[in-house]
Structure 1
Amino acid sequence: MNSYRIPEIAKQYTDYDMIQIHTDLPDFPELRTRLLFAFLNGSSKLSASSELFALATSLVQLALDTHDMVIASNDIKEKKAARSRQLKVLAGDYFSSRFYHLLAQAGQIEIIKQLSEAICEVNRLKMNLYIKMKQLKLTAEDYLHQTVEIKSQLFLSFSDLMSDTYEQDWPDILRSFAQCEIIFEEIFHIEAIASFRGSWAFWHILQHGTKEERKQLHAEESDQTKVRTLLHKYNIKSQLYQMLDTHTKQLQAIVQQLDSDKLISELFHIGEPFLRFLAKPSKVMEEI
């Protein structure tokens, strides 16, 4: 069985001085990439291509995530910020070109087609989500569900390639991992007021808050003190923690039904950050 070394291989495409000095990149999609690699590598038919497919998919995901970081406004006049914006656009385009090149070079035209169709679906889902956000017609539950779908689409494109044994399990396990990943990230990002707007917490408070509180959320610039007061009032961190606990237990139950002890062990290892976090409830709740 091949060892997992995709993040190291990807560095030859991401670790350029121009990018490192002048802009920042999103996090590498480690969890979903490792998950895809584990399933593909466990298949006798796909193990030889597991590294290539997972690497190409991770580069596409990184390209999409990089472009998502580009500020929409063209009014950036400060030279450093403008350069950072331009490099994000170029970096995203470059990662996309590497995905095409790697798969075309290997003669994997069908996989190019599958991932290209998945990119279209990701963009469609994003547009639908952004429209609902703009219209303020989104619940916290809708936000979580649609974000899971957006994060999962590229990796779901491999569902038909999975062996009959895992064809049904793959979508459920992938979505469950993506859901835990999103909730996990929301817990740690909640204190960053800059990322509050559009987060699960934002939509939850908008859904359940008073008229005055909703008015505060509609303001173009959020008052940090007021936002923290609302986060405390609605027990946001505590709710997210409980959600992570619930979904992690549901994920464990699904994983334990697989018929491969080796795959089960690998999936538990991938989910270890969630388990470690939940294993220290007293410290976490004190911080909450």
Structure 2
Amino acid sequence: MNTYRIPEMAKKYTEHDMIQKHTDLPLFPEFRTRLLYAFLNKHSTLAGYSELYTLVTSLVQLGLDTHDMVSVTNDAKEQKSARSRQLKVLAGDYFSSRFYYLLSHSGHIDLIGILSAAICEANRLKMNLYLKMKQLKLTADEYIGQLVEVKTQLFLSFANLLEERFYVVWPEVLRLFTRCEVLLQEIDRSESSQPHQDSWGFWHVLQQATREEKKLLQSEEPDPAKWRPLWLKYKVTPQLHQMLDTCMKELQDKLQSFEPEKLGKELLSIGEPFRRYLSAPRATQEV
């Protein structure tokens, strides 16, 4: 089996001097990338392309995620902020261009079409999510579910390329891993000093809040600092911990009975950070 080295390979593109100097980037899609690499490496004919396929998919995902970091307004007058915004746009385009370049120069034109269709679907789902958020027509469960769907689209597109024995299990395993990943990120958000409107906590509180509390959340000039007591009241962080624990147990049960057993053990090792996080001692969570 080849050694997994996709993040190191991606650094050739992500550690560009201009990007590092003027802006920040989203987190590398580590769990989904490792999953895709593990499954492709078990393919009788595609194993030789596992690094290429996984690398370009991770770059496309980084491109999409980088564009998501661009603010929807352009009212920042300060030069540094404006430059960071411009670099995010250019960095996202740059990562996407590397995907086209690497696949076209290696002759894998079919995969360009497959991933391009997945990009369109991911953007369609993202726009639907944004519209529901703007209209406040979203539940907390729907928020998590739709976020998982957006984040898995590029990787789901490989289902038809995998060997038949993995065709059914790939989407299920991918979604469970991605749900754990999303929940872990939501926990980090819930523990931040400034609660976010684009978070599970917001939609959870909105569902449970009183009329006056909903007015506070929906004000035209929201003050996230004033939301903190609501995050405490409705136990946002503890509930997210419980959701992550439930998801991780479901994932472990799935992988422990996985065929082939060797791949199941490999996938369990990929999910080890989730298990370690849940088992780590921590102070009693109040938010």
TM range (shorter): over 0.9
Q: 1:256 to 1:189 in 2, by over 3 A?
A: same
Could you tell me which residue of structure 2 aligns to residue 273 of structure 1? 273
| Cross-structure match for 1:41 | 41
CA distance in 2, matches of 1:195, 1:111: 39
Q: Which residue of the partner structure matches residue 166 of structure 2? A: 166
- Residue identity matched to 2:282: K
Per-residue CA distance 1:52-90 (angstroms, 9 max, x = gap): 000000000000000001112132221111111111111
User: How far has the Cα of 1:193 moved from its partner?
Assistant: 4.9
Amino acid paired to 1:86: Q
Identity %: 59
Give the distance between the partners of 1:89 and 1:223, measured in 2 at CA.
28
* 1:129-149 alpha-carbon deviations (Å, 9 max, x no partner): 011001000000110110000
User: In the superposition, relative to structure 1, how do residues 118 and 284 fare at CA in structure 2: closer, same or farther (>3 Å)?
Assistant: farther
Q: 1:194 deviation in Å?
A: 4.5
Deviation at 1:45, TM superposition (A): 1.7
Counterpart mapping for 1:6-155 below 5 A = 6-155=6-155
Deviation at 1:223, TM superposition (A): 3.4
Gaps in structure 1 of 5+ consecutive residues: none
Higher mean alpha-carbon deviation, 183-192 vs 85-94, is at: 183-192
Shift of 1:261: 2.6
Alignment of 1:216 onto 2:196: no
Cα 1:168/1:120, change in 2 over 3 Å: same
Distance verdict in 2 for CA 1:67–1:127, change over 3 Å:
same
Q: Using the TM superposition, give the Cα deviation of residue 221 of structure 1 relative to its aligned residue in structure 2, in angstroms.
A: 3.9
Structure 2 equivalent of residue 240 of structure 1 = 240
Using the TM superposition, give the Cα deviation of residue 285 of structure 1 relative to its aligned residue in structure 2, in angstroms: 3.2
Between the two proteins, the alignment pairs up a number of residues equal to 287
User: Is the contact made by 1:193 and 1:227 (CA closer than 8 Å) also made in structure 2?
Assistant: no
Deviations along 1:216-251, whole A, 9 cap, x unmatched?
Answer: 111244434531111111111110000000010011
Distance in 1 separating the partners of 2:251 and 2:109: 33
Of 212-221 and 196-205, more deviation after overlay is shown by 212-221
- Larger deviation, residues 252-261 vs 200-209: 252-261
Residue in structure 2 matched with residue 285 of structure 1 by the alignment: 284
* Cα distance between partner residues in 1 of 2:221 and 2:276: 36
Q: Distance in 1 between matches of 2:186 and 2:88?
A: 23
Q: Secondary structure at the match of 1:153?
A: helix
Q: Find the residue that maps to 1:89 and give its secondary structure.
A: helix
Question: Using the alignment, how far apart are the partners of 2:74 and 2:286 within structure 1?
Answer: 40
Length-normalised TM-score, structure 2? 0.96
* 1:283 partner SS: coil
2:85 and 2:227 mapped to 1: Cα distance? 28
What is the TM-score of this pair, normalised by structure 1?
A: 0.96
Deviation at 1:283, TM superposition (A): 1.8
* RMSD (CA atoms): 1.4
Alpha carbons 1:19, 1:87 under 8 Å: kept: yes
Rounded Cα–Cα distance in structure 1 between residues aligned with 2:243 and 2:75: 40
Structure 2 unaligned residues grouped into runs of 5+: none
